[in-house]
A and B are shown apart, each in its own frame.
Chain A
Amino acid sequence: MSSPTPASPSSPVWRRLRANRAAMAGLLVVVLLLLLAAAAPLVAALEGQNPTAFHNELIDSATGGVPIGPFGGASARHWLGVEPGTGRDVLARLVYGAQVSLSVSIGATVVQVALGTLIGLAAGLGNQLADTVLSRTMDLAIAFPGLVFAISLMAVVPGSFPRPVLLMLVLGVLGWGGTARLVRGQALTLRSLDHVAAARLSGARSWRTARREILPGLAAPVITYAALLLPGNVTAEAGLSFLGVGVRPPTSSWGQMLSGATTWYQADPAYVLLPAGLLFVTVLAFTVLGEGLRTALDPRAKSRLRRARSRRTVAA
C-alpha cells in the first residue's frame, strides 16, 4: 500500500505540493490512516483488546444491548467504548476496519487505473475500428449502474472467495471507464506531438511508442484522476458493506459498522459518529490531497483558472 506521491522530493511538483497547506494536511491524515491500518494489531494490543471478543458484561441486555456508561461505554480499557449488542471493542474494530476500507479502496483504484490505462491506450493508439469499439465499451462502462451490478456480483460469488479481494476486483472492474476515456483523449493529443511522430516514423513499434513516448506524458493526469477515484472507492466499499454484501462478519469494516449503527443512532450516538466521522475524514483527506496533486502536477491549470477568474472580475 502506498499513496500516490510524485517521484522525487526535490522536483518542482513536490515543491508546489508542499506549498499547498490543505494538501499537506490531507497527505498527513492519509499517512496517519495508512499507519493506523497497518499497525491495527499493534493498536489493539496497546489497548489490550481484540476486535472479535464479546463483552456481554459491558452492555445492558435489558435495554437491547446499549453499552453501559457515557459515550458508548468509553473507559480506560475501551478507549472509544464498545459496540452495542456485542460489547466488542470499537477502537479495535475501527482500526481493523481501516485495513479493509483502505486496502479495498486502494486495490480497487489500482485495478481501475491499470485497466483504464490499458484500454484507453489501445483505443487512442489503435486503428479506427479498435477505437470505435473500445470507445463505445467505455461509454457503456461509464453509464452502467455499477452499484446494482456490484450487489448482484457480490451475492453470486461463493462465500469461500476472500471478500476483500472480491470487493477490490468488483469495484475495479466496474469503475475503469472514466480513466480509459481520459487516457484515450490524452493519447490522441500526445500522438500528434512531434517527438511521438518522430518515434513512429523512425520505425518504433506501437507498444514501444506507447511505453516510451506516451506513458510519461500520461502520468500527471492519471495520478491526479486516481487520487480523485480513491475517495469514491472508499465510499463504494462502505456502501456495499452497509448493504450487507461487503465483507462478512466477524471481519469489521466502516460501512458494516455504520449499517449496524442505524438501529442505535438514538440509543448510542457515539457508535454512529465514530465510523461516520472516520469515513468523512478519510474521504475529505483523499479528496483534498487529490486536488492538491492536480494543481501541483499541472500548474497551468491553476493559472488558467486564475486568469479566467480575473477576466470575469474585469467583465463585471
Chain B
Amino acid sequence: MSKSRAVAAAAGFALLAGLATACGGGTAKSSATAAFDPATCQGGTLTVLAQLGQGKFDPAELYTSGGGKVPTLVFRTLTTRNHTTGGPDGAKVVPDLATDTGEPNQDATVWTYHLKPGLKFEDGTPIRSQDVKYGIERSFAPELPGGPPYLRDWLIGGEQYQGPFKGADLPSIETPDDSTITFRLTKPEGDFPFLATATQFAPVPKAKDTGTDYQKHPVSSGPYEVTSNDNGKSMVLDRNPYWSRSIDDQRLACPDKIVYTSGLDPAVINQRLAASSGDDARAVSGDTDIDAGILAKLNTDSALKSRVATGYFGATQYLAFNPTVKPFDNALVRQAISYAVDRTSVINAVGGSAVAKPATTFLPDQPAFGYTPYDYFPAGPSGDPAKAKELLAQAGYPNGLSITLSHATDQSDIGPAVAAAVQESLGKAGITVKLDASADDDYFTKTQLPSSEPGFFIGGWGADWPSGGPFLAPIFDGRQILTAGGNFNSAQLNDPQVNAEIDAANKLTDPAKAQQAWGQLDAQLGKQAWTVPLYHPVYKRLVGKDVKNAYVSQWNGVYDLSRISVK
C-alpha cells in the first residue's frame, strides 16, 4: 500500500467525521469516481468468485479464524479480528458480541466475557450467554468434525467431552447469567482472545439446532442470513432484519445481497474480474491471487492496478529437515544447505516478487507474530555456494554430497517447480539433489508421520491467528510430536528448555510482552537451522471495477466482505 494512497484515503474518511460507524485509517481501494460513504453505501449485490467452496457451513465445523470470508457475515463471535482497517491493526483482536476482548484471572487460566445488550438472532430472539456455551459444546460432538484443535486442548474436561447431543454439558464453561460467560482452562493461555474469534464461539440457539443438518441453514447472528446453500459450493445471503450497525461496530454490510460462487479455475476468476463485464463488475476474488497474466498488465494499466489490493497472511514456506535421517543430523550440513539456497529462484517459481517475500526467519515478518529479524546464514538473494562448500568440507563432505528432497506433485507452493529451483541452487554448491515426488495426500500423510518422515522436504505453516504461539508451538514444542500422524514438529525436537520457554510465553496476556518472548524464541531456534525459511507469501487480489472500500485484511489476507460496497 503506497503512503500517498493511504493519506488520500484518510482524507476521504475525514469527511465522514461524526458517523457512529466511522472507519479507522482504512486504506480504501475504490477505483470509482465518487468517494465511499458508509452512510449511503447500502444496496446492490456483491458476488464472490472462489476456487474452493465454504465446506459445511456449520459454525462448529468451520476452520477459519472467524476471518474475512463469508462466515463473518453470518456468525458473530465473542471477539473478532479488527475489520475496520486494511493496515497492520487489522491483525488485532477486538470485541464483537462481548464488551471487551476478555478479562483473564491472574495466571490467564480463567477468562470471563460479558455480552453487549440488544443482540438478536435472525428470528428476533435475544442472544444469551447460554447460546454461546451451547455453540462451543456442539463443536466437541463427533458428529460435527473439523474446527481448530485448541478448545479440546485448553478447556478443562475438553479431552473427554463428547458434545451436548448425549445430554451432558461442559462444566468448565459457566454462564452465571444471560450475559456472562466464563471459561476455565487447563493451563495459562494468553492467546484466548484470539481463539474466541473462531466460529465455534458463535451463538447457536439450542431450540433451532438440527444437528448435522444445521449447516444447511445456520441461524444468523450477523448482518446476513443464509437464503440458499448448496453445500457451501454456492450460497446466497440476504439481510438479517434483526441486525443493525448500532449493535455492531465492525461490519458495514453495504450490499443487500451476497452471492458466493465456487469451483472456478484461478485463471477464470482473474480474467472475469479484469474484464468486469455485467455482474463481474461488482465481484471480488474470494481466495485467488492474481496470476502472471494480470501481473504483466499492471505496469501499463493503472486502472487495473488500482483494483489490486495487497495483503499478508502470516505464513512461511520452508525446507524442513528431519535430523533423525543422516546426514541431516549434522548441523553443518543443515547450515550448508541454508547458505546454498537461492531464494530468488524459489520465489520466481511461485509467481515472483509480487506474491512472495524472501524469508530468513521462521516467524512471519509482521509485528503481531513477534517478528525479530535475524539471518544467521546470510546467503543473499541468490545463495552463497562458496560458503556452503566450505561448510560441507568441514562437515566431512569435501567432494560434495547426494541427498533426496521430497515434494508434492500438485500444490504449487510445495510442488515440482519449487523443488527444481532448490535442486538447481544446491547443485551449485556440489550438493546433488534427487527429487522424490508424491501426490499431495500421500505427501501430507508421509511428512506428518514421524516414522515415515523423509529427511528433507518442502513444508509450509500458516497461522491460526496472528500470534507467535500457534506459529512456533506446533513446529518446535516437543510435547506436540504426534507419533500417530498429523505431526508438524518435523525436526522432532524435544528440548526441555524450548518447551519451558513456550510455556512461559503462553502465560503472557500482554500482547507486547508475548510478541517479545516469541520473537526471542524464534531467533534462538533459528541458530540451529532446523528449517530453511524460504519465503512469506504476499496476497494480491483483484476486485471488479464497481467495487468500493475493498481492502485485504492483514489477519488472513482475504477481502473484508463486511466492509465492501457495490453501490
Contact = CB atoms under 8 A, between A and B. Distances in A.
Contacts of B427: 52
Nearest to A59: B348
A167 B255 CA distance: 53
B12 interface: no
A85 interface: yes
Contacts of B424: 52-54, 250
B258 to A, nearest CB: 29
A250 B354 contact: no
A67 to B, nearest CB: 11
B362 to A, nearest CB: 23
A84 B296 CA distance: 12
Nearest to B354: A62
Nearest to A84: B292
B437 A65 contact: no
A85 B295 contact: no
A108 B297 CA distance: 43
A64 B421 contact: no
The residue among B296, B349, B427, B436 with the most chain A CB atoms within 10 A of its own CB is B296
Contacts of B416: 244, 248-249
A56 B292 contact: no
Contacts of B437: 159, 248
A63 B354 contact: yes
Contact of A250 (B298, B344, B423): B423
Interface stretch (A27-35, A184-192, A262-270): A262-270
A224 B382 CA distance: 53
A66 interface: yes
Interface string A248-264: 11100000000010111
Interface string B380-391: 001000000000
Contact of A264 (B292, B347, B421, B438): B292
A66 B300 CA distance: 14
Contact of A64 (B296, B419, B435): B296
A65 B354 CA distance: 10
Contacts of A250: 420, 423-424
The residue among B295, B298, B382, B439 with the most chain A CB atoms within 10 A of its own CB is B295
Given A56-B382, A248-B416, A249-B435, A66 B292 contact: yes
A65 B293 contact: no
Given A61-B353, A84-B292, A249 B348 contact: no
Interface string A142-173: 00000000000001000100000000000000
Interface string B44-87: 00000000000000000000000000000000000000000000
A267 B293 contact: yes
A54 B421 contact: yes
Contact of B345 (A56, A62, A262, A266): A56
Contacts of A249: 416-417, 419-420, 423, 435
B291 A64 contact: yes
Task: Determine the main DSSP class of B at the interface with A.
Answer: helix
A86 interface: yes
A85 B348 contact: yes
A86 B349 contact: yes
Interface in A79-94: 84-87
B14 to A, nearest CB: 33
A244 B292 contact: no
Given A63-B352, A64-B292, A64-B354, A54 B345 contact: yes
Contacts of A260: 417
B355 interface: yes
Interface in B400-430: 409-410, 416-417, 419-421, 423-425, 427
B296 A244 contact: no
A64 B352 contact: yes
B342 interface: yes
A248 B438 CA distance: 11
Nearest to B436: A159
The residue among B342, B352, B419 with the most chain A CB atoms within 10 A of its own CB is B352
B421 A65 contact: no
Interface string B329-362: 0000000000000101101110111110000000
A263 B427 CA distance: 28
A289 to B, nearest CB: 34
B347 A61 contact: yes
A263 B351 CA distance: 10
The residue among A64, A87, A264 with the most chain B CB atoms within 10 A of its own CB is A64
A62 B353 CA distance: 5
A63 B420 contact: no
A47 to B, nearest CB: 18
Contacts of B355: 64
Interface in A264-316: 264-268
A159 B408 CA distance: 12
Nearest to A245: B409
Contact of B439 (A54, A155, A248, A263): A155
Contact of A263 (B267, B344, B420): B267
Interface of B: 267, 291-293, 295-299, 342, 344-345, 347-349, 351-355, 382, 409-410, 416-417, 419-421, 423-425, 427, 435-439
Interface of A: 52-54, 56, 59-66, 84-87, 155, 159, 244-245, 248-250, 260, 262-268
Given A63-B292, A65-B351, 20 more contacts: A52-B420, A54-B424, A56-B348, A61-B344, A64-B295, A65-B352, A66-B295, A85-B292, A86-B345, A86-B349, A87-B348, A159-B435, A159-B437, A249-B416, A249-B417, A249-B419, A250-B420, A263-B291, A265-B293, A266-B296
11 contacts: A56-B348, A62-B295, A63-B352, A65-B352, A85-B292, A85-B417, A86-B349, A87-B348, A260-B417, A263-B293, A267-B293
